[in-house]
Amino acid sequence: MLDANLTEQLKGHLTKVTRPVELVASLDDGPKSAELWDLLSEIAALSDQVTLRRSDEPAERTPAFSIVRVGSDVSVSFAGIPMGHEFTSLVLALLHVGGHPPAVADGVATAVEELEGEFHFETYMSLSCQNCPDVVQALNAMSVLNPNITHVAIDGALFPEEVQRHNVLAVPAVMLNGEVFGHGRMTLEEILGRLDTGAADREARASTPSNRWTCWWSAGVQPGRRRRSTPRARGSPRASSQSASAGRCSTR
How many residues make up the chain in this entry?
252
Q: 179-196 pLDDT, tens per residue?
A: 999 999 999 999 999 997
CA–CA distance from 171 to each of 66, 72, 124, 219, 250 (Å)? 22, 31, 6, 12, 11
Instruction: Give yes or no for a contact between 123 and 152, defined as CB atoms under 8 angstroms apart.
Output: yes
How far is residue 143's CA from residue 94's CA, in Å, rounded to a whole number? 13
pTM: 0.80
**Structural domain count, the chain:** 1
User: What CATH number is attached to the domain comprising 23?
Assistant: 3.40.30.80
Task: Kindly report the average pLDDT of the chain as a whole number.
Answer: 85
Query: Is residue 16 predicted with pLDDT exceeding 60?
Result: yes
H-type alpha helices, 100-151: 106-113, 132-145
What's the mean pLDDT in 85-114? 97
Residue of 99, 95, 66 lying closest to 234 (CA atoms): 95
Instruction: Return the minimum-mean-pLDDT range out of 34-43, 146-155, 201-210.
Output: 201-210
Segments forming the whole domain that contains residue 104: 4-251
Q: At what angle do helices 106-113 and 132-145 cross, to 10 degrees?
A: 70
